[in-house]
Amino acid sequence: MSLLVKGRSQGREIVSVTPQSANWKFVGFAAYRLAATERISFDSGNREICIVVLSGVVSVQTGDHVWKEIGERQSVFDERSPYSVYVPHSHAVTIAAHADAEVAVCSAPSHGSLGARLIEPGTAKRSVRGQGSNTRYVCDILPQTEAADHLLVVEVLTPGGHASSYPPHKHDTDNLPQESFLEETYYHRLNPPQGFAFQRVYTDDRSLDQSMAVENHDVVMVPRGYHPVVAAHGYNSYYLNVMAGPKREWHFKNDPAHEWMLQR
């Protein structure tokens, strides 16, 4: 089974991954492009949702909550954090666009009693990881320090020619506090959009070992294994990560073969 899900260049639904299509238990992901005045509606069912306004301006309604005209970015490559909305299970949701917009819908199983809430850009922690050609810029949208049942959501900007999610790391073993089991999706964007990046997903024994050229709007599924990304020279990389597993903690293990570079 290929771990690469190709994005569509036209139409409202850009890409979709469900637990059924991925053959796993937790993570769901979809991205949509909406024209001005267009809307989508759905029910969260037995899942919690994190709606990320990737670009454009939208209004989100769920239950008695209405958040009007949220979104400040023209592009995911703008140097600012997104507006997002957390929606618990058993809620009807409508997203209405006020201009051309792109939204991500991240989901995981839900069992708690959390309320719907707006996640404002100012609450998203921004940080820099790595150094030299391993430098990348991180925005924690829904980290483990913020309330949710299973979802973890983060976005990363990687300059062209840089490596990211690197040294290669994995989180596929329930061995806390050293490592946690988390499924993960990578939603890739490239700037300029005709660009490409490379992602490899592999295990220690190489029973899983796939290397993929990813293009604008593609998703890579990471059921297990290490999963580094390299952005081609001249093309900046953005990806939105969605993680979920039985325990909502992010603890990872670096590939021992490449951990030496952290000592330099």
- The Cα–Cα gap between 260 and 251 comes to 19
| pLDDT tens per residue, range 105-118 | 999 999 888 999 99
243 with 264: CB under 8 angstroms?
A: no
- Summarize the confidence of residues 38-51 as an average pLDDT: 97
Output the pLDDT for position 264: 67
pLDDT at 262 over 90: no
| pLDDT tens per residue, range 49-70 | 999 999 999 999 998 999 999 9
Q: How many domains does the chain divide into? A: 1
pLDDT at 257 over 70: yes
Instruction: Tell the residue number behind the tokens 């980290």, with chain if given.
Output: 143
- Summarize the confidence of residues 65-87 as an average pLDDT: 97
| pLDDT tens per residue, range 114-141 | 999 999 999 999 999 999 999 999 999 9
pLDDT at 101 over 70: yes
221 with 17: CB under 8 angstroms?
A: yes
Q: What is the pLDDT confidence band of residue 1, given thresholds at 50, 70 and 90?
A: confident
Output the pLDDT for position 230: 98
- Summarize the confidence of residues 195-218 as an average pLDDT: 98
Query: Does residue 246 have a cis peptide bond before it, meaning omega lies within 30 degrees of 0?
Result: no
- pTM of full prediction above 0.85: yes
- Ordered DSSP codes for 121-167: GGGSEEEEE--GGG-EEEEEEE-TTS--SS-EEEEEEE-TT-EES-S
191 with 75: CB under 8 angstroms?
A: yes
Q: What is the pLDDT confidence band of residue 263, given thresholds at 50, 70 and 90?
A: confident
The residue range of the domain holding 229 is 4-263
**Percent of the chain with pLDDT strictly greater than 70:** 100
CATH number at residue 89: 2.60.120.10
Output the pLDDT for position 59: 98
